[in-house]
Amino acid sequence: MTSKWFTIEQIAEYLQVSVEKIYKLCQKGKIPASKLGGQWRFDVTEIDVWLKSQRPNKQNKKTKARNA
């Protein structure tokens, strides 16, 4: 299977955030990315998995609500 790779501008549009936000996430190592020839590239499949992992954990919400 061939992966689809996006530029920083494309991934910003895909995630509906600013290019600056993506740069910050890259610099902090908080988003899966590869640097090729000085330019960031993003595997869309990895981004989708990463994005799903960023969802709040429902179990944590229930535990926090009980402890409040």
Written out in words, the top-level CATH class of the domain with range 5-57 is mainly alpha
At 11-68, the pLDDT tens digits run 999 999 999 999 999 999 999 999 999 999 999 999 999 999 998 877 655 555 555 5
Q: List residues bridging with 42 in a β-sheet.
A: 6
8 A C-beta contact, residue 47 and residue 41: no
- Looking at residue 56, what is its pLDDT? 87
Q: List residues bridging with 43 in a β-sheet.
A: 5
- Can you give the pTM of this predicted structure? 0.75
- Looking at residue 3, what is its pLDDT? 76
- Looking at residue 65, what is its pLDDT? 57
- Looking at residue 63, what is its pLDDT? 53
